[in-house]
Amino acid sequence: MKFQQFKSILIIVAAAIVLSAMYISNRMIAKLSEQETHSMEIWAEATRQLVVYEGSIDLDLVFKILNENKTIPAILVDANDKPIDLEYGIRNINLPENPKEQEEFIRKKIQELKTVNTPIVVQIDGQTKHFVYYDQSSIIKNLRWFSYILFIVVALFLIVAFMIFTQVKKAEQNQVWIGLSRETAHQLGTPISSLLAWVEILKDKQLDTKFTNEISKDVNRLRIIAERFSKIGSKPDLEPVNFVDVLENAVAYLRGRTSNKIVITTHYQTDNINLKLNVPLFEWVVENLCKNAMDAMDGEGKIDITVSEHNDSYYIDFQDTGKGIPKSKYKTVFNPGYTTKKRGWGLGLSLVKRIVEEYHKGKIFVKQSEIGKGTTFRILLKK
């Protein structure tokens, strides 16, 4: 299953769980609210019976109803919002111990309760009305929080699941990279050794040194390529070098093996740039970025490589005059398998990113690109 499909399914399942839980909890809250309103109406009627007490009323039953409300905060007030009977008219509300503070506290509480529920009218007689202001019980309040807590839990689950899946996927890719690279280095070893021997035989035959030197260079290049592949999957040795020499050496090799229609130019602020690099691997980075630019320019154009110093880092910009990259693809271009060519595996930029970021602890990204005008890749390396 592809990562995007997995992510979509996981999000859909998580959304379904959250929405279902919210629906169920809202139904439960609505039912409980109806029951609490009904209970408060009975409680309000009990307060009315107590106020208009007549001998025929069963006071034990009235007090039982009044005392049974142990969960719903309520205040019984007159038409002027003055509390009636602090002992039985105020339920499940903790009043300040200081009597001077109680009046202000009750006033604020009444204003708060007015925003929660519609008050219940207690008709005492034709002229007198009392009102019951009441809050939601702690059960309903906890149920409301349940949806938010569930949402947070599911969100955390999604984040952890994505992280685990990403790490597993990355580990699998690493194993593929390592296996493919080492097998390639192993397969190249035998023919390279044989070619080196043939080059020596050709030199002994005293053939034109121009040809034998060029063949020797290419065979040596094959040896370097095999060495690069053998280093994938192991921690490379980083040595202090002058980056100018490394870059010029890589560019010189490319210039000698590309069309005259491709112009590669290097620019430096100074000729002495000291960096810790694994030279064979970083030359591979330069070659891949330049070859990627050549493909984008269809074999004709200009590549400018600019090295500049910024605080504790060096910026290395590879600017071409190729087709450009859509902004939506700035990050995608580094994914394994991404390619715009009919042939190829689309591993070049993915390999570049791995060498720069994992082996040299740097950064690489698309600095800017414009369709039809070209692209600039930027590498950041710490001093």
d(CA 333, CA 340): 10
Query: Residue 345's pLDDT is what?
Result: 46
Question: Three-state secondary structure along 268-305?
Answer: ECCCCCEEEECHHHHHHHHHHHHHHHHHHCCCCEEEEE
Same domain assignment for residues 130 and 10: yes
Query: Residue 244's pLDDT is what?
Result: 93
**Tokens coding 117:** 């529920």
Residue 186 reports pLDDT greater than 80: no
Domain boundary among 114, 136, 158: 136
Whether 175 maps to a domain, the answer reads no
Determine which helix (DSSP H) or strand (DSSP E) holds 200, and give its type and residue range. Answer: helix 138-204
Greater confidence (1 vs 177) lies with: 177
Average pLDDT, the chain: 82
Give the number of other CB atoms < 10 A from CB of residue 229: 20
Number of domains in the chain: 2
Domain boundary among 136, 153, 185: 136
- Per mean pLDDT, which range of 171-180, 290-299, 355-364, 366-375 is the poorest? 171-180
- Walk across the sheet containing 74-77 and list its strands: 90-91, 74-77, 129-134, 120-123
CATH number of the domain to which 279 belongs: 3.30.565.10
Same domain assignment for residues 240 and 373: yes
When mean pLDDT is compared over 4-13, 200-209, 323-332, the highest value belongs to: 323-332
Query: Residue 286's pLDDT is what?
Result: 93
Residues 21-79 pLDDT 10s: 888 888 888 888 888 888 888 888 888 877 766 666 677 777 787 777 888 888 888 88
Same domain assignment for residues 246 and 132: no
Same domain assignment for residues 116 and 248: no
Residue 20 reports pLDDT greater than 80: yes
Determine which helix (DSSP H) or strand (DSSP E) holds 258, and give its type and residue range. Answer: none
d(CA 93, CA 69): 12
Residues 72-111 pLDDT 10s: 888 888 888 888 876 667 888 888 888 788 888 888 998 9
Query: How many residues are present in the chain?
Result: 383
If you ran DSSP here, which 8-state letter would residue 116 be given? T
Measuring CA to CA, how many Å separate 229 from each of 38, 183, 232, 359?
A: 78, 8, 6, 14
Whether 97 maps to a domain, the answer reads yes
Reference 289, options 350, 237, 236; nearest CA is 350
Whether 122 maps to a domain, the answer reads yes
Q: How far is CA 169 from the centre of its chain?
A: 16
Residue 224 reports pLDDT greater than 60: yes
Whether 323 maps to a domain, the answer reads yes
Domain that holds residue 299: 236-382
Greater confidence (116 vs 234) lies with: 116
Query: Residue 2's pLDDT is what?
Result: 60
The answer to whether 369 and 325 are in contact (CB under 8 A) is yes
Whether 108 maps to a domain, the answer reads yes
Query: Residue 290's pLDDT is what?
Result: 92
Same domain assignment for residues 377 and 259: yes
Determine which helix (DSSP H) or strand (DSSP E) holds 235, and give its type and residue range. Answer: none
Whether 91 maps to a domain, the answer reads yes
Same domain assignment for residues 374 and 246: yes
Query: Residue 157's pLDDT is what?
Result: 82
% the chain with pLDDT above 70: 87
Same domain assignment for residues 128 and 20: yes
If you ran DSSP here, which 8-state letter would residue 118 be given? P
Greater confidence (56 vs 195) lies with: 195
Residue 116 reports pLDDT greater than 80: yes
Mean pLDDT in residue range 145-168: 80
Domain boundary among 111, 136, 161: 136
Residue 202 pLDDT level (bands cut at 50, 70, 90): confident
Same domain assignment for residues 244 and 374: yes
Residue 150 reports pLDDT greater than 60: yes
**Which amino acid is it at 347?**
L
Whether 194 maps to a domain, the answer reads no
Whether 189 maps to a domain, the answer reads no
Residues 339-373 pLDDT 10s: 655 544 456 788 889 889 988 999 999 999 999 89
d(CA 65, CA 50): 11
Greater confidence (2 vs 312) lies with: 312
